[in-house]
Structure 1
Amino acid sequence: MIAINNLTFEIGARALYDEANWHIKPGEKIGLIGANGTGKTTLLKIIVGDYKPTSGTVSMAKDLTMGYLNQDLLSYSSDKNIVHVAMEAFERQNQLHDEIESLLKKLETDYSEELLNKLSDKQHEFELLDGYNIEYKAHEILAGLGFSDDDCKRKLSTFSGGWRMRVMLAKILLQAPDILLLDEPTNHLDLPSIQWLEDYLKAFTGAIIIVSHDRWFLDKVINRTVESRKGKLTVYAGNYSFYLEEKALREEIQRGEFKNQQSKIKQEERLIERFRAKASKAKMAQSRIKMLDRMERIDDVDDDNPTVNFAFRFSKQSGRHVVTLEDIVKKYPAIDILNGGEAVIEKGDKIALIGANGKGKSTLLRIIANADKDFTGTMTTGHNVSTTFFAQHQLESLHLENQILQELQAFAPKHTDTELRTILGSFLFTGDDVFKKIKVLSGGEKSRVALAKALTADANFLILDEPTNHLDMQSVNILIQALEQYEGTFIVVSHDRYFLDNVANKIWFIEDQKIKIYPGTYAEFDEWNAKRKLEPKAAAPAPQPKKEEKKPEPVKQPQVENKHQQLKKLNQDLAKMEQQITDLEKEVKQLEAQLADEKIYNDNAKLKQTNAAYSAKQAELKQVQDKWEALAEQILELES
């Protein structure tokens, strides 16, 4: 499909890629990963032809169609409504539509057979291209990305940059190209839209390359991972979790080979040193020196996962109740956010506040932070609570003339320079970067400085609004470590589900204008919520018979005699089911092993067949496991 051979791309004296190779096959769903600055976005631009490589080739089929979502599209604007902008994807259909309209206009005065035939041909082609359904398709995809019917009537220019990016994504998806290149597609999406996009991409039949820091999203969508590192591209035959396991295994092997080689080198050097001065052994010593010079050296494994080695401290402990919300009513002219909202944040709570955009997450955070007082009801802050509120708008409070390190020194004087530089290093400010002035930083870099400030505050209660924006995976992991060791209380809004699952012990969501609480991790909430959505609505109560028609209920016969037999039969069924689960798990593992073998990707038919078999076996396994759970519960009830 696309072949990248010996690709070298240089920026000044730095080689971003150095003879890198990568072959992209039809139908592959690939996650392109790597630390910031390793050239992921640059590589996408090389593939689409925006950049030319210094040397090497990027070859592809002439008729290959590509859809490319990139952050530059944020600046695109139009006075057309968003449905019409999305429908620009259907170039030929739109052209035919205009031609048909023009022919119909002419037919008002010209009834010639030539014109009728021409109209018939155009209408036939329009129908073959499914032209009559393109507006429905546009509405469907826009709805999946979070747009309401009223939104669809609005001009693109009236939306913020993030929402315009969603329209651009809809347009690219509607094009249905042979390959999608998506650069951070989840950046401007809320959780429901991310989940919709996951399902769409899983069903997409073409190839996909995704650059994303959202590892949960990658795990759901991709079947191959390509790491950009040190100018090379390394392929892993699985999703992001598979990549982590496989990379750890490869590094363990490399580390062992490095140690063995170093041991051998030291041994040879000792022999050379011992025999160098002896005339009879000089030739042998010279031979060994040449052998060492020719030896291909194995590199030691670099540690790409820095850890937090400083402590977040605060001078006073809060009381048991950090924040109490009672009968909160919050409304905007066009929408009611809360009506009688009530909740309590207790000391030690690690809360994730989730939900779709527009449901009031940021508004609720501002109420809790006492930054929004335009509501009714009471918000009470508890004893000894000291608060730090991180939000994107707080970038404006940074002192533009300060150097980055100076900004943190002024804000957190109790921390040493070493601690502050360690924190800044965690957020990608290393070496002399810490002496850059705030005014020269990009929006993303300013966001990271503001987040570093928030984490050095003398606060026992953190309020964090989208702290993972602009962070790569390494920085997200650092933030997770920081919040795991933080002994205070926090509430956080984020669309990064991996982050939420690792830091939260309680989930809040706004539903029916109330604050609802789930006591558990995000993964547990996600599973519970999925089951809740699938549950059928309670059936209406059956009509009661008239009193005179009511018959006495039959007397239940004692079950003592057959209860033992029933339990025996159920336990036998359970044992058979357990064996069935064991067999199915073995079959699933065998299919996983086949899919992990790179050779299978050379045979597209076999790949599809194995993928289909894998999906079917997984579904069958889940079905049997569900039956086992139901049967086990039945046995427990009988035994109680």
Structure 2
Amino acid sequence: MILLQVNQVARLFGADILFQHIQMEISSHARIGLVGRNGAGKSTLLKIIAGVEQPDEGAVIKNKQATLSYLAQDTGLISEKTVYDEMLDAFLPIRKLEAKMREMELKMGEIDPTTPAYTQLLAEYDRIQHEFSEQNGYGYENEIRSVLHGFQFDASFYDQAISTLSGGQKTRLALAKMLLQKPDILILDEPTNHLDIATLSWLETYLQGYSGALLIVSHDRYFLDKVVTEVYELSRHKMRHYKGNYSRYLDEKATQLASEMKAFEKQQDEIAKLEDFVARNLVRASTTKRAQSRRKQLEKMERLDRPQGDEKSAHFLFEVEKPSGNIVLQVTDAAIGYEDTILSEPINLDIRKHDAVALVGPNGIGKSTLLKSIIHRQPFLKGQATFGANVSVGYYDQGQAELSTRKTILQELWDAHPTLPEGQIRTVLGSFLFSGEDVEKPIGLLSGGEKARVALAKLAMDHDNFLMLDEPTNHLDIDNKEVLENALIDYDGTIFFVSHDRYFINRIASTVVELSEEGARVFLGDYDYYLEKKQEEAELQALLEQPSIETVVSEGKQNFQQSKEKQKKIRQFQRKIEEIETQLATLETEHQMCQDKMVQPEHLNNHVFLQELTQTSEEIETQQLSLMEEWERISLELEQEETV
């Protein structure tokens, strides 16, 4: 069933077009990924689809019965309630049914059960109870706890006021509440921001089983591959639709581009031949008619535009001015944290030349703190870090605190390298997609993605041999992430980086370090290897938690003995029931014989005999009643024994 349609939608800024002629269809259970460059208009289009903004052209038509929820990028939950009370609000209709059931139960205790009013009330109660059960009324609180746990909120958060939480926590709670509300159409703009890897994995699994339709903007390629089944690409003011996940979209797009280029080149060859024929034969009397025919053919031809391919991407390299020694960084018995609070210990690292080490772990465990402690911006609580010979460190701060918001882009780089000519600085900025008047923009007015490119440009100009990167892919669109990946793959130095982007980790890392409260653990492989090892450990732990063979044998013997006794008791009950049923059958026959004799003509006037028959019949009925009570009792005991 079609839930929503986008028909010929456009967003215009005077004569400038952000996008135009946009068509989209959202069906029941759709899993749609919306991709495109930063600035292409993805967030604007989501707002139009969600009804937050109105289109300049076209219309969005939504099924009137369909519910829709929209979560904007980095939107936090604003509430004075506690975490748990706010989540309960997602189930207001169910809780109203629950309250109504409690009222009816009290009322039923006050009404005579033999009256029609009680019967009517009971029927209404059964109807509401069925509706309550159908809407998961008996399980919604378990659902709340499950979703909160998935977003890393344990029971200690339940009574905490939302207003006291951090921005990232409020964002996670906003998404949690929407998931619990289960709208028919769920629109999410960058839902993976601020989520650690464990939460991302949980969210992927949850969304795969989500009952409604999904429309998602995300730069997380791993996430898109796991969740979406169709992709809409917004590029150069237009939209294209592809079936499949993100990887399939890339393949389809490449195939489509090759096919369009082939058709274009074929038409260009045909046009060249026709134009050449017209030029050579139009002035000849003998061939003028044929030349005129070819010219008309050219005029009627619907000419194909040259396929434009991918939009312009940044292009840069990280070069090393002077190589380091073999030992780059050693961290020994370190502890990180704040004042008396230790986040993680012990931390021991040995990073060698050309290593590419990814640092992973849950949010709040101290990954950024560890990087800052290594470069002496924050002290270790214990231990120390030592750099090797000739190591020069380049640091990328995820908050871009290294950038001066009052400077222009050009000033920021030129002040760091004052001896370089302006032309060379502009050339570097051009490779990071800043050209012409763009370089005069104040950094304070830039978007997150633009600031990220300035910080990377500044880092690339320093030519350090050891890069320490804290979430370098944040704010970058997918194409620029791939440019960064390729630059780091070609980099001749050493890399130590923090990232939640699993696709990025897989391409860059040769080693994964997992940070936890128990310190740092090293896995010598990429992200897939790390996942494989963690899975093996989980399976081994589950195996170790299983009872020993001796315990199993002992329990088996005990269970076997218990089973024998149980079967013996069941057989006893069954035999007793059979005996009672046989006795009942005999008594029924005797009772019927008494009844038959009482109506025979020869006995009608024999009052003494009739009195004896009546007494015998009553005695039989008493025995039958007693046996039936015993039969019911034993049958109930048998049923209980069989279900244990």
Question: TM tier, shorter chain?
Answer: 0.7 to 0.9
Q: How big is the shift at 1:466? A: 0.9
- Tell me how far apart the structure 2 counterparts of residues 492 and 40 of structure 1 sit (CA, whole Å): 29
Corresponding residue number in structure 1 for 2:73: 71
Corresponding residue number in structure 2 for 1:159: 165
Q: Deviations over 1:280-325 (max 9, x none)?
A: 6555545444433332222223242657755433332212111111
Corresponding residue number in structure 2 for 1:320: 326
- Answer with 1 or 2: which has the greater Rg: 2
Corresponding residue number in structure 1 for 2:246: 240
1:51 maps to which of 32, 50, 53:
53
Unaligned runs of 5+ residues in structure 2 are: 552-644
| DSSP 3-state at the match of 2:438 | helix
| DSSP 3-state at the match of 1:150 | helix
Contact 1:306–1:478 (8 Å) recurs in 2: no
- Tell me how far apart the structure 2 counterparts of residues 421 and 151 of structure 1 sit (CA, whole Å): 50
Judging changes above 3 Å, is the alpha-carbon distance between structure 1 residues 392 and 295 closer, same or farther for their aligned structure 2 residues? same
Q: Deviations over 1:550-588 (max 9, x none)?
A: xxxxxxxxxxxxxxxxxxxxxxxxxxxxxxxxxxxxxxx
2:302 maps to which of 283, 296, 301:
296
- Tell me how far apart the structure 2 counterparts of residues 541 and 98 of structure 1 sit (CA, whole Å): 49
Contact 1:40–1:228 (8 Å) recurs in 2: yes
Query: Quick check: 1:364 aligned with 2:365?
Result: no
| TM-score, normalised relative to structure 2 | 0.77
Query: Quick check: 1:198 aligned with 2:198?
Result: no
Contact 1:324–1:381 (8 Å) recurs in 2: yes
Corresponding residue number in structure 1 for 2:220: 214
| DSSP 3-state at the match of 1:254 | helix
Q: Deviations over 1:110-160 (max 9, x none)?
A: 968999959958973555533453332222101101112212322111222
2:508 maps to which of 503, 509, 521:
503
- Tell me how far apart the structure 2 counterparts of residues 461 and 44 of structure 1 sit (CA, whole Å): 40
Contact 1:336–1:513 (8 Å) recurs in 2: no
Q: Deviations over 1:483-517 (max 9, x none)?
A: 11111111111111111111111111124522111
Contact 2:69–2:183 (8 Å) recurs in 1: yes
Q: How big is the shift at 1:447? A: 3.4
Corresponding residue number in structure 2 for 1:628: none
Query: Quick check: 1:93 aligned with 2:98?
Result: no
Q: How big is the shift at 1:408? A: 1.7
> Which shows bigger deviation, 253-262 or 520-529?
520-529
> Which shows bigger deviation, 114-123 or 412-421?
114-123
Corresponding residue number in structure 2 for 1:623: none
1:405 maps to which of 401, 407, 410:
410
Corresponding residue number in structure 1 for 2:28: 26
- Tell me how far apart the structure 1 counterparts of residues 530 and 425 of structure 2 sit (CA, whole Å): 36
Identity of aligned residues (%): 39
Contact 2:371–2:468 (8 Å) recurs in 1: yes
| DSSP 3-state at the match of 2:58 | strand
Contact 1:227–1:234 (8 Å) recurs in 2: yes
1:354 maps to which of 355, 360, 370:
360
- Tell me how far apart the structure 2 counterparts of residues 223 and 286 of structure 1 sit (CA, whole Å): 51
Judging changes above 3 Å, is the alpha-carbon distance between structure 1 residues 427 and 194 closer, same or farther for their aligned structure 2 residues? farther
| DSSP 3-state at the match of 2:346 | strand
Paired amino acid for 1:49: G
Paired amino acid for 1:506: T
| DSSP 3-state at the match of 1:392 | coil
Query: Quick check: 1:83 aligned with 2:84?
Result: yes
Contact 1:318–1:460 (8 Å) recurs in 2: yes
Judging changes above 3 Å, is the alpha-carbon distance between structure 1 residues 83 and 456 closer, same or farther for their aligned structure 2 residues? farther
Unaligned runs of 5+ residues in structure 1 are: 545-640
Corresponding residue number in structure 2 for 1:481: 486
- Tell me how far apart the structure 2 counterparts of residues 291 and 422 of structure 1 sit (CA, whole Å): 47
Q: How big is the shift at 1:263? A: 1.6
Paired amino acid for 1:77: I
Corresponding residue number in structure 1 for 2:439: 434
Judging changes above 3 Å, is the alpha-carbon distance between structure 1 residues 437 and 509 closer, same or farther for their aligned structure 2 residues? same
- Tell me how far apart the structure 1 counterparts of residues 155 and 432 of structure 2 sit (CA, whole Å): 40
Corresponding residue number in structure 2 for 1:449: 454
Corresponding residue number in structure 1 for 2:336: 330
2:259 maps to which of 253, 258, 281:
253
Q: How big is the shift at 1:444? A: 4.3
1:533 maps to which of 538, 542, 547:
538
Contact 2:337–2:366 (8 Å) recurs in 1: no
Paired amino acid for 1:386: S
2:190 maps to which of 180, 184, 191:
184
| DSSP 3-state at the match of 1:71 | coil
| DSSP 3-state at the match of 2:158 | helix
Paired amino acid for 2:247: S
Contact 1:306–1:426 (8 Å) recurs in 2: no
- Tell me how far apart the structure 1 counterparts of residues 51 and 85 of structure 2 sit (CA, whole Å): 27
Aligned positions of 1:446-595 closer than 5 A: 446-535=451-540, 536-538=542-544
- Tell me how far apart the structure 2 counterparts of residues 121 and 328 of structure 1 sit (CA, whole Å): 63
Q: How big is the shift at 1:94? A: 4.3
| DSSP 3-state at the match of 2:39 | coil
Contact 1:389–1:454 (8 Å) recurs in 2: yes
Paired amino acid for 2:328: V
Judging changes above 3 Å, is the alpha-carbon distance between structure 1 residues 255 and 420 closer, same or farther for their aligned structure 2 residues? farther
Judging changes above 3 Å, is the alpha-carbon distance between structure 1 residues 78 and 205 closer, same or farther for their aligned structure 2 residues? closer
Residues paired across the two proteins, number: 540
- Tell me how far apart the structure 1 counterparts of residues 206 and 106 of structure 2 sit (CA, whole Å): 42
Contact 2:319–2:460 (8 Å) recurs in 1: no
| DSSP 3-state at the match of 2:544 | coil
Q: How big is the shift at 1:354? A: 0.8
Q: How big is the shift at 1:426? A: 5.5
| DSSP 3-state at the match of 1:153 | coil
| DSSP 3-state at the match of 2:10 | strand
Paired amino acid for 2:52: D
- Tell me how far apart the structure 1 counterparts of residues 57 and 475 of structure 2 sit (CA, whole Å): 31
Paired amino acid for 2:344: L
Contact 1:369–1:463 (8 Å) recurs in 2: no
Q: Deviations over 1:46-95 (max 9, x none)?
A: 22222222333322321011221212623x42221122222322232344
Contact 2:320–2:492 (8 Å) recurs in 1: no
What RMSD over aligned residues (CA atoms) do the two structures have, in Å?
A: 3.1
Paired amino acid for 1:402: K
- Tell me how far apart the structure 2 counterparts of residues 251 and 196 of structure 1 sit (CA, whole Å): 36
- Tell me how far apart the structure 2 counterparts of residues 431 and 48 of structure 1 sit (CA, whole Å): 36
Aligned positions of 1:278-293 closer than 5 A: 278=284, 281=287, 284-293=290-299
Corresponding residue number in structure 1 for 2:41: 39
